[in-house]
Structure 1
Amino acid sequence: MKLTGSLIFAKELKALGVNYVAGIPASGSWPLVEALATPGAGVPFIQVMQEQSAVHMADGYFRACGRPMAALLSTSPQRSRALGGIETASADGSALLVVTAGRPEDSVAVLFEPVDGQSGVSATRASADKTRLTVSSADKLSSTLRRAFDTMMSGPSRPVTLEIPMAVQAESVEIKVLKGASRLPVADAVALDDTRLERVGERLAGARKPVILAGAGVIRAEASADVLNVAETFLCPVITTAQGKGAFPEDHPLSGGTLGRGPREGANTLLASADVVIALGCACDPDILHIAHQAPLKKVIEATLITLDDDPVGPAPQARALIDVAIVDGLRAQLRALSAWITPSRLGDLKRRRARYRASVILLRERQHAVAQADNGNDGVALPVQRPLIELRQLLERDAILVVGAGSVQAAVRQVFPVYTPRSHLCAGRFGDVGWAVPAAIGAKLAMPARQVVCVVGDGDFLQSMQEVAICVMHTIPVVFVVLNNSGYGAVSELHQARGEHYLGGEFNLPDGKPYSPDFASIARSFGLQAWRVEFASQLSAVFTKALNCPGPSLVEIITARASHLAHGG
């Protein structure tokens, strides 16, 4: 069968299980876009309004379902405007395919160093978690695409950039296009280190106050059930990092919650008082550095720190000095072997010795819950950011996906919004990229159409990418957008408030000092969304119910207090 490079590309994407491509068509990519709509290919193309949003959308798609999506960025300006999105996906371990046309200009190429090459294909890499492939002939395109997917999905997941020059798109060659996703990598057999596992088992069993810290790697490895099994076997409480939120059900008696910003928040307290900490899937998670740097967690330096991960790179150098035992391969296999270490006699002894500790964990969580529920706004008082989150959690289904914007809203979600299932809490972790959440939420809904998807974002964050809500209208994608409007970048102001300073740089003000804000509900209606504006706590439940029942996209704008009380629970 004779096919152009563009048709080979489209048919291979379909065979590899790619369900969507997002981007902005340009002179270098029209053949690829047209090929995607060809009968037999049929991969929907989602046209975004801003280039970086295509990458953020693919990022959110992967985080929600664990399968890659593609972003098409044709020209050099498109690629340069999307670099921040690629870095965010790379830092947080998201696999996605970035397709470009032509060779990179010198200004872009300097970011990459050649590492290998083969006939018809060249590869360059900027770092351990970012690879660029270039194909020079159409007959190499099929194998190169499969190589790109193997690179994305084998080992630590990461973005891969594939360049398909115009000449390759137009070239016709005889080729047999493979059917089915035959590229799925086969995991290597894991060699269990019995000696190390014995040490881990003994230290967990012998600890007075052990804590399991679950990170994003647990979710990526689909190891949540294994963590639950280890926790119940060793009667050990589990806390999570922000990226790992959802790795352990937060309504379980052994849940200690999520690491937070306030020093007295429950998870922080548990971690600070632990004598053994086992960090699972935390190698690429910035919250692991809390152990080394942030009060009151410095006390944990005195504890035994054990790490199990699937990332051969391991945790950051600042954390490595604290590690007593490290296992860097086969997270799920190691956890299953660890669960089998406990004998019935050991379990009986553990139950007796851990009874008081388990009771204290439950009491701590109950106290934190009571504090979080108290003083969260009523009619006549400006709403704190926590109140809408508490109301929203009560109305959402158990497995609803919450996509969280950058800044103070992330801290509030950690505090008052429990998550029960993996891939139900998505946030841009290491970089906290503003503008990420809106397109990422659209990607999450494309990935999981049967689940509720709500994007909670601050007004400053929403202004960075609000134009992408048009995609939801054009494609009838029912995402609920919740804009918490405090007329500014709350996190910037809070930083200075904590230092006893008054700094206007994070506020949106008129010349006379009064707060400034667009009418986001009206803007949303002009895009074609159903929208409501909420100013009082008594309105929240009814408005959220209407928004969640909309057949299409909707937006709820909530006026919140400028002065946050994120530290009220700690």
Structure 2
Amino acid sequence: MKALISKQLVKYLEDRGVEYVFGLCGHTNIAVLAAMSESKLKFINTRHEQIAAHIADGYARAKKQTAVLLSHLGPGLTNASTGVANAALDSIPMVVIAGDIPTHYYGKHPHQEVNLHADAAQSEIYKPFVKRVWRVERPDLFPEILEKAFQLAETGRPGPVLVSVPMDIFSMEVDTALFERLSHHSKSLHKPSLDEVVAEQIVRTLAEAKSPVIYAGGGVLLADAAEELREFATHLSLPVAHSLMGKGAMPDDHPLTLGMTGFWGTQLVNDTCRGADWVFGAGTRFAEADCSSWEPEFTFSFPPTQLIHIDIDPAEIGRNYPAAIGVVTDLKAALTVLLRVARRLYPQGRKDDAVIRKIADFRKEFNAKNVPHQQNDAFPMRPERILAAVREVLPRDGMVTTDVGWNKNGVGQQFPIYTPGSILTPGGYATMGFGAPAAIGAKLACPERVVVALVGDGGFGQNPSVLATAAEQEVPVIWVVMNNSAYGTIAGLEMAHYGTTFGTLFKRGGESYSPDFAAIAKAYGVDGVKITSAAEFKTVLAQAVAANKPFVIDVAMQNEPVPTTGHWNINDIYSPGRRGEVSHVAIG
């Protein structure tokens, strides 16, 4: 029996448990759209492919399931590339299915083809950042390629893959047996674990260390291993620091949570990590900003500190720091074994009341210093007050998406996260424009939870048509636009080093300028409020949560720097010889 490939593709996705397909139409993918019109798959239509990719990314993070992105050829594929690259650098599983030129027009340069260096070469564009690229050359090969694509996206270090399909193949018939045989293959592979001998070595090393630290990365959350991490750390009384992407792996109010390391980390966490005799790195790549550009006097010093590094990706072990013990394993499986061994070797656990007191004292002191800013009535508002109000209104398990700038760096440092996986932030690629659409994906994945996007005016202004998708799909996301009429972080950096803010501030006729984002929201059919005083903000936010509708809150914010205690060697590049003297400065 034969059937159209487009219809069999849709059935395959349904059978695989796919609920949403994200994307934008084009003449190369309408056969798939037509097939979806008769299915239970839900197509999330967007006005720009980058928006679709970020929504898919947010959905995959929140749902812990591979997202499917449908793209057109040429400009559709390149528009989506930034969002797909963002997912790739944060290890988010995604299958991108893109229409391609018809097979019978090979070499003729048909409409919208990328062929300046080779014919039928659009798939080459994605090679630098996806795990693999397939171009389907024959219809009978498509089913097998599709199965491989999902398996590769989900296994090892997760990430996006691209399947580029000539548009005529979508409209060809193929034997249904080719798809049916795929149902006999497992859709979930068993992942590598940790043997008892190595587990015992790690547990004894940490239990006997003088000043051990767990360093949790985003891999803990990707592996859904936060509960195992918390139990293991608690049993052995091990303080837990985390990378930006590891935020939320331990609740921020847990007595053993140190906080985020690196340039935007606090003095306590950087000093504790630098002074540790053993660091247990779990699911982290030890990225530049998290590690103060890997310079040993600021955050980590390997050696004399010794490293236990476990990760699903062998390429990350030893990449930036030498590992005394390196293990390739799934984090959830490994931590399960480590916890079992720790309970066997140390039934009563390990106690370190001094570390717990030290963390509690520092947390109290740090929070006390922030209180005046959090209660400041100034308008434009202090960023600390905005974050404090959001935390007060947001439920404990409420989800937050961020962009870049204060809403990423300040949130990482100062905004408490209590539920694992409830903060979605662009870490590896640090993509401006991620937060606003990712919130839609998170809400589609977790409709029962409150979702707030904390974004700057620069990021929100890049793709405001995200509001059209929210309105059409009736997705009740709240966007808090932290509006300083600038690319604020870069403005501060340029002012600190060069004494100018050229190209970083938004001005009209020499005066500070910003669109009215609340009015823009209303034009899209979305509720919007432009805040006029600090006292008003929290009330409006509570109203937005209660409304359970798409809602934009445009709040003017002072351009204040995020406090920094770590280091980033761009300071050395821009101002050599002034180490320690230069940091972000406020822009009046």
Cα distance in 1, alignment partners of residues 66 and 348 from structure 2? 45
Question: In structure 1, what is the equivalent of residue 457 of structure 2?
Answer: 459
CA offset at residue 18 of structure 1? Answer: 1.4
Question: In structure 2, what is the equivalent of residue 508 of structure 1?
Answer: 506
1:14-163 correspondence to structure 2 within 5 Å: 14-38=14-38, 41-102=39-100, 105-107=114-116, 126=127, 129-163=130-164
CA offset at residue 61 of structure 1? Answer: 0.8
Cα distance in 1, alignment partners of residues 536 and 58 from structure 2? 30
Question: In structure 1, what is the equivalent of residue 281 of structure 2?
Answer: 279
TM-score (norm 2): 0.87
CA offset at residue 288 of structure 1? Answer: 5.4
The residue identity in structure 2 corresponding to 1:356 is: A
Q: Identify the range of structure 1 (337-346 vs 515-524) with the bigger mean alpha-carbon deviation.
A: 337-346
**Aligned match for 1:187, one of 163, 168, 190:** 190
Change (3 A) 1:459 1:4: same
CA offset at residue 277 of structure 1? Answer: 1.2
Question: In structure 2, what is the equivalent of residue 524 of structure 1?
Answer: 521
Change (3 A) 1:137 1:263: closer
Gaps of 5+ in 2: 102-112, 567-582, 584-588
Change (3 A) 1:485 1:343: closer
Question: SS at 2:512's partner residue?
Answer: coil
The residue identity in structure 2 corresponding to 1:17 is: G
Question: In structure 1, what is the equivalent of residue 261 of structure 2?
Answer: 259
- Per-residue CA deviation, residues 12-55 of structure 1 (Å, 9 max, x unaligned), is 111111111122211111111110111xx321112211122111
Cα distance in 2, alignment partners of residues 472 and 137 from structure 1? 38
Cα distance in 1, alignment partners of residues 68 and 418 from structure 2? 29
- Per-residue CA deviation, residues 475-533 of structure 1 (Å, 9 max, x unaligned), is 10000000000001011012234447332332112332x21111111111111111111
Cα distance in 2, alignment partners of residues 51 and 263 from structure 1? 34
Question: SS at 2:350's partner residue?
Answer: helix
Question: In structure 1, what is the equivalent of residue 554 of structure 2?
Answer: 557
Q: Identify the range of structure 1 (15-24 vs 199-208) with the bigger mean alpha-carbon deviation.
A: 199-208
The residue identity in structure 1 corresponding to 2:536 is: Q
Question: In structure 2, what is the equivalent of residue 535 of structure 1?
Answer: 532
Q: Identify the range of structure 1 (127-136 vs 521-530) with the bigger mean alpha-carbon deviation.
A: 127-136
Question: In structure 1, what is the equivalent of residue 11 of structure 2?
Answer: 11
Change (3 A) 1:37 1:293: farther
CA offset at residue 199 of structure 1? Answer: 3.5
Question: In structure 1, what is the equivalent of residue 169 of structure 2?
Answer: 168
Whether the 8 Å CA contact 2:399–2:449 is kept in 1: the answer is yes
Question: SS at 2:374's partner residue?
Answer: coil
Question: In structure 1, what is the equivalent of residue 578 of structure 2?
Answer: none
The residue identity in structure 2 corresponding to 1:526 is: A
Whether the 8 Å CA contact 1:146–1:183 is kept in 2: the answer is no
Whether the 8 Å CA contact 2:270–2:300 is kept in 1: the answer is no
Q: Identify the range of structure 1 (372-381 vs 501-510) with the bigger mean alpha-carbon deviation.
A: 372-381
Question: SS at 1:481's partner residue?
Answer: strand
The residue identity in structure 1 corresponding to 2:559 is: R
CA offset at residue 185 of structure 1? Answer: 2.4
Question: In structure 2, what is the equivalent of residue 393 of structure 1?
Answer: 391
1:207-246 correspondence to structure 2 within 5 Å: 207-246=209-248
Whether the 8 Å CA contact 2:261–2:290 is kept in 1: the answer is no
Cα distance in 1, alignment partners of residues 137 and 344 from structure 2? 62
Whether the 8 Å CA contact 1:16–1:182 is kept in 2: the answer is no
Change (3 A) 1:338 1:290: farther
The residue identity in structure 2 corresponding to 1:336 is: T
CA offset at residue 184 of structure 1? Answer: 1.7
Cα distance in 2, alignment partners of residues 379 and 482 from structure 1? 18
Gaps of 5+ in 1: 115-122
Cα distance in 1, alignment partners of residues 476 and 494 from structure 2? 38
CA offset at residue 420 of structure 1? Answer: 1.4
Cα distance in 2, alignment partners of residues 561 and 341 from structure 1? 51
Whether the 8 Å CA contact 1:113–1:126 is kept in 2: the answer is no
**Aligned match for 2:406, one of 405, 408, 412:** 408
Question: SS at 1:253's partner residue?
Answer: coil
CA offset at residue 348 of structure 1? Answer: 5.5
Question: SS at 2:18's partner residue?
Answer: coil
CA offset at residue 263 of structure 1? Answer: 5.9
CA offset at residue 371 of structure 1? Answer: 2.0
Change (3 A) 1:500 1:324: farther
Change (3 A) 1:143 1:314: same
- Per-residue CA deviation, residues 522-548 of structure 1 (Å, 9 max, x unaligned), is 111111111111232211221111111
Question: In structure 2, what is the equivalent of residue 492 of structure 1?
Answer: 490
Question: SS at 2:26's partner residue?
Answer: coil
The residue identity in structure 2 corresponding to 1:30 is: I
CA offset at residue 315 of structure 1? Answer: 4.2
Cα distance in 1, alignment partners of residues 521 and 122 from structure 2? 44
Q: Is 1:308 the equivalent of 2:313?
A: no
Q: Identify the range of structure 1 (455-464 vs 269-278) with the bigger mean alpha-carbon deviation.
A: 269-278
- Per-residue CA deviation, residues 229-280 of structure 1 (Å, 9 max, x unaligned), is 2101210111211111111111111111223534644433332332221110
Cα distance in 1, alignment partners of residues 367 and 446 from structure 2? 30
Question: In structure 2, what is the equivalent of residue 117 of structure 1?
Answer: none
Whether the 8 Å CA contact 1:19–1:69 is kept in 2: the answer is no
Cα distance in 2, alignment partners of residues 326 and 433 from structure 1? 31
Question: In structure 2, what is the equivalent of residue 120 of structure 1?
Answer: none
Change (3 A) 1:60 1:526: same
CA offset at residue 431 of structure 1? Answer: 1.5
Cα distance in 2, alignment partners of residues 107 and 316 from structure 1? 39
Whether the 8 Å CA contact 2:433–2:463 is kept in 1: the answer is yes
Cα distance in 2, alignment partners of residues 252 and 181 from structure 1? 44
CA offset at residue 349 of structure 1? Answer: 8.3
Whether the 8 Å CA contact 1:216–1:244 is kept in 2: the answer is yes
Whether the 8 Å CA contact 1:219–1:422 is kept in 2: the answer is yes
Question: SS at 1:101's partner residue?
Answer: strand
Change (3 A) 1:101 1:183: farther
The residue identity in structure 2 corresponding to 1:477 is: V
Whether the 8 Å CA contact 2:263–2:565 is kept in 1: the answer is no
Change (3 A) 1:251 1:165: same
Q: Identify the range of structure 1 (70-79 vs 283-292) with the bigger mean alpha-carbon deviation.
A: 283-292
Aligned length: 554
Question: In structure 1, what is the equivalent of residue 354 of structure 2?
Answer: 356
Q: Identify the range of structure 1 (97-106 vs 261-270) with the bigger mean alpha-carbon deviation.
A: 261-270
Q: Identify the range of structure 1 (283-292 vs 392-401) with the bigger mean alpha-carbon deviation.
A: 283-292
Cα distance in 2, alignment partners of residues 401 and 108 from structure 1? 44
Question: In structure 2, what is the equivalent of residue 338 of structure 1?
Answer: 338
TM-score (norm 1): 0.90
Question: SS at 1:141's partner residue?
Answer: helix
Cα distance in 2, alignment partners of residues 492 and 139 from structure 1? 51
Question: In structure 1, what is the equivalent of residue 575 of structure 2?
Answer: none
Question: In structure 2, what is the equivalent of residue 328 of structure 1?
Answer: 328
Question: In structure 2, what is the equivalent of residue 365 of structure 1?
Answer: 363
Question: SS at 1:151's partner residue?
Answer: helix
CA offset at residue 93 of structure 1? Answer: 0.3
CA offset at residue 283 of structure 1? Answer: 2.8
